[in-house]
Chains A and B, each alone.
Chain A
Amino acid sequence: MKSEGARDPPARADPRPGRPWKEILAIARTVYTELCFQAIYALKLGNLPGEERSGNPAQKARRRVAQSKLMVSLLMFLLIASALFTMAHGESFIGLTLPVPLYDDIILSGTLLLGLSLLWMIGLQLVPTLSNSRVFPWLSTLPLSRRDLKRVSGILLVWLFDLPAAVLLVFLPVGVGLLQHSWVAGLWTLPATAMTLVFALALSFRTGRFFLERVSGSPSGGSSVLLRWTYLLFWTIPSLAVSLFVSFSVPLLRAIEVWSRTHAQLFELLLLTFPFAPAGAPFGPFLSGSGIPAPWTALLGLAGVIYGLLAVGSGLWLWRTTLDLGPDPPATRRGPRVASVRLKRTSPVRAILTKDLRIASRNPGYAFLILLPLLDALVIGLSTYVENPVQASVVKYALAAVTVAALLATFFGPAFFATEVLGYSLTRTLPLTRRQMLLGKSSLVLLIYGISCVLVMSLVATRLADPFPFAGFAASELPAVIAAALLQVGILLHQTSRTGLPVANLYSGAWWTTLVVVPGLLVAGLPLLLFTLEQSYDGALALPFMAASSTLLLVSIGTWAFWGRARAP
C-alpha cells in the first residue's frame, strides 16, 4: 500500500530521437491519400469505387481533391483580382470621396475578410472529414512520438489548405506592392495576410469541433432540433459573408463612407478591429494625412501588434490540438436515462422526408444544401431594401430570388439521395415502393423551393404594388421544379438499382454531375428561359408560356418516373 504523500515515480521519457523528415513526409503522404479517398468515395459509409472504373482509385481521389482545391483557389484569385482592380480604379468609378489611404485600407480589409470567410468555409467542410476519418486516433496507436505525430498533422494541415492559402499569401502582397509601387508596402501586407490565414484555420477547427459536439452528437427532442438548426445557421455565416461581400460590396463601401462622416469616432473604433488595424500597416505612414488623428495611427499599430500575438497564440493552439481531433469514445457519450419511448408514425413518404431533415440537422454539409437556397432568397429579398430600387427593380429582384431558389434547389436536391449511403441497403429491405421513394426525395426539393418563395414573398410583399404577377411566376415554376426533382431522383434510383451501390458525394464525379444534375437544371431552367425570351419579345404571354411548359414537363417526366423505366426495380 502506498503511504500518504508518496508520489508516483515520473513516467519514463521516450529516449528515441524523432523520425527523419523523409519518414514523416512518407507517413503524411499515406494519410493524406486516405483522407482524399474517404472524402471522395465515402468508403466508411459503404460507397466503394465501382469495379468498372479504370485506374487507381486512390490516385483518382487525390486528383479530384486537387481539382477541387484548384477551383477554390481560382475563385480566391478572381476575388483578390477584383479587389485589387477596385483598389486601383474603383474609387472614382464608384464615386467615393474617402481619403485614398483609408479607401485602400478598407478594400484590403474587405479582401482579407473575404479570404478569411472562404478559408473558413473550406475548413468547415474539412473538419468533419478529418474527424470522421479517424486518422489521428489511428496514427496515435503507431510507435510514433507525440512530436512526430504533431509534425504529421502539421504537414496534413498545410497540404489540405496549400493552394488557396498560397494564392492569398502570395498574390495579395504582390498585388498591393505593384499597385502602391512599393515592395515595402507589399511586404507590409504579408503579416496581415498571414494572420488572416491562421485565424481562418483556428476558426475552422474551433467551430468545426463545436459543431461536431453540439450538432452531430445532439440527442433527439424538440428543443435539440431547434438548437441544432440555430447552430447550423451560424455554420452558413462564412458562405453568407462571401455572398454578401460579392453582391453588396458597392453599397457597403458607400455605407462605410457615410458612416465615416456621421459617426467619425465609431468609425475610428472600427479601424481598430481585425483586419482593419493590421491591414492599415502598408498605408500607415499615409493615414495621418487622411483625417485620422495621429495618436490613432499609433493605436492602430499597437492593435496590429496585439492581433499578431493573438495569431501566434492561435497558431500554437492549432499545433497543440489538431492531433486530438477525433470522435469521443462512445463510453463518454451516454445520455440521460429515458423514461419512456413514444414513436410517432407518419406516412412512408413523410417518413423519408423527416429522416432526411433529421440527417441534415446533424450534418452541416447537408444542412448547408438546404440553408443556402433559403439564405440566398433572403439576401436577394433583403437587397430590395438595401438598394432602395424602384418598383420595376423590386419585381426583378423577387423574380431573380425565385429563379435562384429553383435552380439551387434542383442543383442540391439530388445530394439528398447521397444521404442514404450505407443505410440505403437496409432501406431497400423495407417494404417501401419506388413511388414512395420518388415522392419522399422530391418533396425535400419542393420544400426548399416553397420556403424560399414564401420568404421572398413575405419580404417584398409590402414593396410590390401588385404581388400577383410574382405569385404567378413562383407558381408557374413549381411544376418544373417538381419535374426536375422527379427526373433526378428517377435517374438515381435507376442507376443505383442497376449498379447495386449507394451514391455518395454526388458532385465528386463529372459523370454523375452530368447525368443527374445537368438534366435537372435544364428542366427547371427551360420555363424560366421561355419566360425571359417572351418578355424581351412581347411580355404578354410570358407567364402563360412558362406555366404551360412547366406543366407539360411535369406531366411527361411524371409519367416516365412513375410508370416508365424508373419504376423498374
Chain B
Amino acid sequence: MPSEDSPLLLDGLTVRYGSVVAVEDLSLEVRSGEIYGLLGSNGAGKSSTIKSVVGLVKPTGGRVRVFGWDPQTDSLPVKERVGYVPETQMLYDALTPREFLEFVASVRRLDMTAVHRRVREFLEAFQMWEEVDRPISTLSNGTRQKTLLIAALIHRPSLLVLDEPFNNLDPRSVRIMKDLLTSYVRSGERAALFSTHTMEVAQQLCHRIGILDHGRLVGEGTLADLQSRIRNDRASLEDVFLKVTSEEEEVARAVRALEEE
C-alpha cells in the first residue's frame, strides 16, 4: 500500500498544456532504497511528470507528494530534499562551474568543509579540473551535464530526480554515475527517479520501471514482472517496451519502408 511518507507518490497526476494532454491519471510510488526508471518515447510525458515532481509544472489534476509534502504549496522542504537534473541544460552560461556551484551551495546553505571535499571528489571523478574556471558557455555538452550532476548531488539529496541524466556523458562518466546511483540508494534512506531512452541503462540500474505511452502508465514493475506480462521471460527491456507500447509492428513497418527506399 502506498505510504504518504514515501520519497515520491503520484496519485492520478494529470498535466495539460492547453488542449494537449501530456500526462493523464498517472499513479506511481517510488520507495526508499529504490531506483525507479521512467521509460517512454519522445512526448510520452516523462519530462512533464518530472517537472511536476520538482514543482516546475503545476499539475492540472491529481496529487504529487514528496516525502509527504506538496511541491506546489510546501515547496521549500521539497526543494531541500530533492536533487534535480533537467533534460535541457538549464545553466547560467555566463558563470563558470565553480561560480555556479558556489551559488547553489550558498542558496542551499551547505557546510562548506563537506562541500569542498565533495566537489573535489567529483571534479577528480569527472576529470573536470581544466574546465572548472571556464565559463559554462564555452564548455562541451558533456561537461555542462557533469556540472548539473554535481549541482544536483552536492547536498546529498534524499530524492534524486534525473531527466535523461546520461545524455552527452562519456563512457567513463556514465559508469561512474551508474555505480554512484546504485550505492547511493543502497542504505535504504534515499531514492532516485530517472527517465531515460537507453534501455540497457534502465535494465541494469532500475529496481522498478514504469513505461509511459501518450501520458499514460501502460506497464510497471520489475523486469521480471514486465517479462511475465508479455509472456517471454527472455525478452529484453527493449522488446518489452515495444510490445507494451504496441510499437513493435510500427517499428518493423518503418524499417521496411526505409530499406525499400
Contacts and interface: CB of A to CB of B under 8 A. Distances in A.
Interface of A: 45-46, 51, 216-221, 327-328, 330-331, 333-338, 340-348, 350-352, 354-355, 358-359, 362-363, 419, 422-423, 425-433, 500, 569
A73 to B, nearest CB: 31
A341 B99 contact: no
Contact of B131 (A334, A355, A419, A432): A334
A219 B138 CA distance: 10
Contacts of B54: 429
B132 A343 contact: no
Given A425-B90, A430-B107, A431-B108, A343 B98 contact: yes
Given A46-B88, A217-B135, A500-B57, A431 B80 contact: yes
A362 B102 contact: no
Interface in B69-90: 72-73, 75-76, 79-80, 82, 84, 86, 88, 90
Contact of B92 (A333, A337, A355): A355
B133 A221 contact: yes
Contacts of B80: 431
Interface in B108-161: 108-110, 112, 115-116, 119-120, 123, 129-135, 137-140, 143, 148, 151
Nearest to B106: A351
Contact of B106 (A221, A347, A363): A347
A432 B135 contact: no
Contacts of B244: none
11 contacts: A217-B134, A217-B135, A219-B96, A220-B98, A338-B123, A351-B106, A363-B94, A426-B86, A429-B54, A431-B79, A569-B73
A437 B246 CA distance: 47
Given A425-B90, A430-B79, A355 B99 contact: yes
Contact of B102 (A343, A363, A500): A343
B90 A422 contact: yes
B107 A431 contact: yes
A348 B106 contact: yes
A372 B171 CA distance: 48
Interface of B: 17-18, 54-58, 72-73, 75-76, 79-80, 82, 84, 86, 88, 90-96, 98-99, 101-110, 112, 115-116, 119-120, 123, 129-135, 137-140, 143, 148, 151
6 residue pairs, one from A and one from B, having the closest CB atoms: A351-B106, A423-B92, A431-B79, A333-B138, A362-B94, A219-B133
A346 to B, nearest CB: 5
B135 A343 contact: no
B107 A340 contact: no
Contacts of A46: 88, 90
Contacts, number: 144
A42 to B, nearest CB: 11
A220 B116 contact: no
Given A333-B139, A430-B79, 8 more contacts: A46-B88, A217-B137, A335-B133, A340-B120, A422-B88, A426-B151, A432-B107, A500-B57
A216 B137 contact: yes
A328 B75 CA distance: 40
A328 B139 CA distance: 10
Contact of B134 (A219, A363, A433): A219
A439 to B, nearest CB: 13
Contacts of B107: 348, 351-352, 427, 430-432
B84 A426 contact: yes
A355 B140 CA distance: 22
A219 B116 contact: no
Nearest to A497: B58
Contact of B133 (A45, A220, A345, A348): A220
Contacts of A359: 92, 94-95
Given A220-B98, A351-B103, A425-B90, A431 B132 contact: no
Contacts of B98: 220, 341, 343
Most A C-beta atoms less than 10 A away, residue of B54, B75, B110: B75
Contact of B138 (A327, A358, A363, A425): A327
B108 to A, nearest CB: 6
A338 B73 CA distance: 42
Contact of B135 (A216, A347, A500): A216
Contacts of A219: 96, 133-135
Contacts of B137: 216-217, 327
Contact of B140 (A217, A330, A432, A569): A330
B239 to A, nearest CB: 35
Nearest to A333: B138
Nearest to B84: A429
Contacts of B57: 500
B129 A423 contact: no
A232 to B, nearest CB: 13
Contact of A220 (B18, B90, B99, B110): B99
A45 B210 CA distance: 31
Contacts of B93: 45, 423
A336 B130 contact: yes
A327 B75 CA distance: 38
A429 B56 contact: yes
A339 B87 CA distance: 31
Nearest to A426: B90
A433 B76 contact: yes
Given A347-B106, A351-B103, A362 B135 contact: yes
In this complex, which of A348, A363, A569 has the most chain B Cβ atoms within 10 angstroms of its Cβ? A569
Given A363-B94, A425-B90, A338 B72 contact: no
Contacts of B104: 430
Contacts of A423: 90-93
B232 to A, nearest CB: 40
Contacts of B76: 431, 433
B115 A218 contact: no
B91 A426 contact: yes
Contacts of B108: 430-431
B194 to A, nearest CB: 15
A341 B120 contact: yes
A346 B108 CA distance: 10
Nearest to B134: A335
A220 B130 contact: no
B103 to A, nearest CB: 5
B49 to A, nearest CB: 15
Contact of B119 (A51, A343, A433): A343
Given A46-B88, A355-B99, A429-B82, A338 B133 contact: yes
Contacts of B133: 219-221, 335, 338
B128 to A, nearest CB: 9
Q: Give the one of B55, B79, B137 with max A CB within 10 A.
A: B137
Contact of B116 (A341, A354, A425, A500): A341
Contacts of B73: 569
A498 to B, nearest CB: 10
A130 to B, nearest CB: 15
Contact of A217 (B103, B130, B138): B138
Nearest to A52: B18
Nearest to B137: A216
B139 A338 contact: no
Given A333-B139, A337-B129, A428 B115 contact: no
A346 B104 CA distance: 10
A362 B133 CA distance: 13
Contacts of B151: 426
A419 B95 CA distance: 11
B88 A429 contact: no
